[in-house]
């Protein structure tokens, strides 16, 4: 009761405190600072000492609150995830002890900014929580160490892609995501009413990128794509971040080389950045893959599955023309254990726009990049560049060409061989971080059973 009446105040005789984020504190060793953040961890030692690990997004800082500082009403009620302001002198940790940054804050004054309920977040989320509870509380879960590391690596990854493209003179464009054309088949389209007309959330920005190459040369975009996927797998989302590139005047082999370059160069950039250590924290064995990647035709994959007893769900072997679904594809990828450029899928199982292989027209100049632990992370192809062939493609897939006049015009006004690809950012991160679910590498995952928070 008595302790509740203890009130503290800042001593005006102390030197003014410099404000700093946690990651910038080193320059203030031995000086008085003020730091703002959230109580990440809290430990009381007897009545006269309290250790707070403070978190501000840039790092963690050990703070020592002693004597009256840990006896106030706010101190007695303090819980993890409360936000606070702490003033004190930054001291090097004593010999033989360790703390983040190699220093700790010896507090002389502190204030609560926003309280957190009794028990902190542990009452909502703890080691016993099942995945449904975790995702329901994703907004709190992301405050944890692992999740915030993943989000930081995601940030570094997006920058690595932009830097990769910038250095290779690709131009970034921002296509619309409300569209009236399908790209990857009608079964996964999200439809909505657009002022009385039927419209969709885009499945891919590819068609728009194709229209940009005569204006800008090599182009790319980083945009959200949407798929009404009812499949519950480790790697399907209904909204994902799609990194797509499109290149004029290339051959299929050059497309494959562009994919190797994309994956290896971006991974190298991330590892060389200040976030490389976070990748190793989460995935200690990660290594930037070697080029060239193994190339394998779809026909060879069918044969590989037969030879290695990888079967369809119904127990029979895959035949030419069958889609190789996720599980067997993973099995093959993990058996081979290195990146695979899986090429030349049959025309009948692929999208309307894919260029046939002139040497073997029943297959297309198409490619999936398969990586260990994930399977497919990239899908790409050469595009049909002849107007009549494109109409035949629409017909085969039962698509009315009316809404595609602008896409067809691409073939009328100076057509050229060209190709491109789409890479799923969440799947790339799954590979980079050895994560077992694409929902983990996404801020607020959208799946068939969840559209919140
Ligand atoms: O293979 P997809 O469907 O290819 C396209 O959309 C092409 N139009 C892209 C292009 O050529 N510009 O998708 C490309 C990649 C996949 O390899 C995968 O990484 C990701 O996008 N992706 C998904 N990621 C998470 N959840 C889903 N439902 C995804 N669907 C595709």
**pLDDT tens-digit series, residues 49-81:** 999 999 999 999 999 999 999 999 999 999 999
Residue 119 banded pLDDT, cuts 50, 70, 90: confident
Residue 452 maps to a domain? no
Residue 121 banded pLDDT, cuts 50, 70, 90: confident
With a cut of 80, say whether residue 143 has pLDDT above it: yes
What is the Å distance from ligand 1's center to 126 Cα? 34
pLDDT at 331: 94
Cα gap 253→263, rounded to integer Å: 16
What is the Å distance from ligand 1's center to 32 Cα? 52
DSSP for residue 70: G
pLDDT at 303: 96
Residue 449 maps to a domain? no
Cα gap 182→194, rounded to integer Å: 15
Check whether residue 77 and residue 204 sit in a common domain: no
pLDDT at 231: 80
Residues with CB under 6 A from ligand 1: 183-184, 203-204, 206, 227, 229, 236-237, 240, 242, 244, 376-380, 420-424, 426-427, 438
Q: Which two tokens stand for residue 200?
A: 């969709």
CB 31 within 8 A of CB 51: no
Check whether residue 103 and residue 174 sit in a common domain: no
Ligand 1 binding pocket mutation candidate from 379, 397, 441, 449 (most atoms within 8 A of CB): 379
Residue 336 maps to a domain? yes
As a residue count, the chain comes to 453
Check whether residue 294 and residue 377 sit in a common domain: yes
Which atom of ligand 1 lies closest to the CA of 188?
A: 28
What is the Å distance from ligand 1's center to 378 Cα? 7
With a cut of 60, say whether residue 414 has pLDDT above it: yes
Global pTM reads 0.96
With a cut of 60, say whether residue 3 has pLDDT above it: no
Check whether residue 108 and residue 170 sit in a common domain: no
Residue 67: name the closest of 124, 110, 12, 20 by CA. 110
Check whether residue 208 and residue 329 sit in a common domain: yes
Check whether residue 109 and residue 150 sit in a common domain: no
CB 401 within 8 A of CB 408: yes
Query: How many structural domains is the chain composed of?
Result: 2
Among the candidates 61, 85, 114, a domain finishes at 114
Q: Whose CA is nearest to atom 24 of ligand 1?
A: 424
Q: pLDDT tens digits, residue range 370-390?
A: 999 999 999 999 999 999 999
Residue 90 maps to a domain? yes
pLDDT at 334: 93
Which atom of ligand 1 lies closest to the CA of 244?
A: 12
Check whether residue 95 and residue 210 sit in a common domain: no
The DSSP result for 152-212, as a single string, is HHHHHHHHHHHHHHHHTTPEE----SEES--SS-GGGPEEEEETTEEEEE-S-SHHHHHHH
CB atoms inside a 10 Å sphere around CB 390: 21
Domain around 238: 135-433
Question: Taking residues 250-255, what's their average pLDDT?
Answer: 98
What is the Å distance from ligand 1's center to 366 Cα? 13
With a cut of 70, say whether residue 165 has pLDDT above it: yes
Check whether residue 82 and residue 155 sit in a common domain: no
Check whether residue 233 and residue 97 sit in a common domain: no
Among the candidates 59, 79, 114, a domain finishes at 114
Check whether residue 209 and residue 328 sit in a common domain: yes
Check whether residue 168 and residue 212 sit in a common domain: yes
Check whether residue 47 and residue 152 sit in a common domain: no
pLDDT at 230: 84
Residue 36 maps to a domain? yes
Residue 441 maps to a domain? no
Which atom of ligand 1 lies closest to the CA of 422?
A: 9
- Assign residue 425 the CATH number of its domain: 3.30.930.10
CB atoms inside a 10 Å sphere around CB 253: 10
Average pLDDT, the chain: 96
pLDDT at 127: 87
Q: pLDDT tens digits, residue range 422-450?
A: 999 999 999 999 999 999 999 999 999 99
Question: Taking residues 415-424, what's their average pLDDT?
Answer: 98
pLDDT at 115: 96
Cβ neighbors of 291 (< 8 A, separation 6 or more) are 260, 261, 264
DSSP for residue 241: E
Residue 300 maps to a domain? yes
Ligand 1 binding pocket mutation candidate from 376, 422, 439, 450 (most atoms within 8 A of CB): 422
pLDDT at 12: 96
Residue 370 maps to a domain? yes
- At which residue do the structure tokens 């999936």 appear? 368
Ligand 1 binding pocket mutation candidate from 154, 185, 240 (most atoms within 8 A of CB): 240
pLDDT at 4: 56
């Amino acid at each position: 009761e008595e302790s509740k009446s203890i009130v503290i105040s800042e001593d005006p005789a102390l030197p003014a405190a410099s404000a700093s984020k946690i990651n910038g504190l080193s320059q203030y060793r031995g000086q008085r600072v003020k730091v703002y953040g959230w109580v990440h961890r809290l430990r009381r030692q007897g009545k006269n000492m309290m250790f707070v690990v403070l978190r501000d997004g840039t790092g963690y800082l050990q703070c020592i609150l002693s004597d009256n500082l840990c006896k106030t009403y706010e101190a007695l009620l303090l819980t993890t995830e409360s936000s606070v302001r702490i003033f004190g002198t930054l001291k090097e940790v004593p010999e033989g002890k360790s703390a983040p940054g190699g220093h700790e804050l010896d507090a002389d004054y502190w204030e609560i900014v926003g309280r957190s309920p009794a028990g902190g977040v542990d009452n909502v989320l703890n080691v016993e929580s099942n995945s449904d509870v975790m995702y329901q509380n994703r907004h709190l879960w992301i405050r944890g160490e692992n999740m915030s590391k993943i989000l930081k690596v995601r940030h570094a990854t997006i920058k690595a892609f932009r830097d990769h493209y910038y250095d290779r003179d690709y131009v970034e464009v921002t296509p619309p995501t409300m569209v009236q054309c399908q790209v990857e088949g009608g079964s996964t389209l999200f439809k909505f009413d657009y002022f009385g007309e039927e419209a969709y959330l885009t499945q891919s920005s590819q068609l728009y990128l194709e229209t940009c190459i005569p204006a800008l040369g090599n182009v790319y975009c980083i945009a959200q794509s949407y798929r009404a996927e009812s499949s519950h797998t480790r790697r399907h989302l209904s909204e994902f971040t799609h990194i797509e590139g499109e290149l004029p005047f290339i051959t299929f082999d050059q497309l494959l080389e562009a994919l190797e370059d994309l994956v290896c160069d971006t991974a190298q950039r991330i590892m060389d950045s200040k976030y490389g250590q976070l990748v190793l924290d989460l995935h200690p064995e990660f290594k930037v893959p070697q080029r060239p990647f193994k190339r394998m035709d779809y026909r060879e994959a069918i044969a590989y599955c037969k030879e290695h007893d990888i079967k369809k769900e119904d127990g029979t072997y895959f035949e030419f023309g069958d889609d190789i679904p996720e599980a067997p594809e993973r099995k093959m990828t993990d058996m081979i254990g290195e990146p695979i450029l899986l090429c030349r899928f049959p025309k009948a199982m692929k999208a309307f726009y894919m260029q046939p292989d002139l040497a073997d027209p029943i297959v297309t100049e198409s490619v999936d990049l398969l990586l260990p632990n994930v399977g497919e992370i990239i899908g790409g192809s050469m595009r049909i560049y002849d107007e009549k062939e494109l109409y035949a493609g629409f017909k085969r897939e039962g698509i009315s060409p009316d809404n595609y006049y602008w896409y067809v015009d691409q073939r009328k006004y100076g057509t050229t061989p060209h190709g491109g690809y789409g890479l799923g950012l969440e799947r790339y991160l799954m590979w980079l971080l050895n994560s077992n679910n694409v929902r983990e590498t996404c801020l607020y995952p959208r799946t068939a059973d969840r559209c919140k928070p």
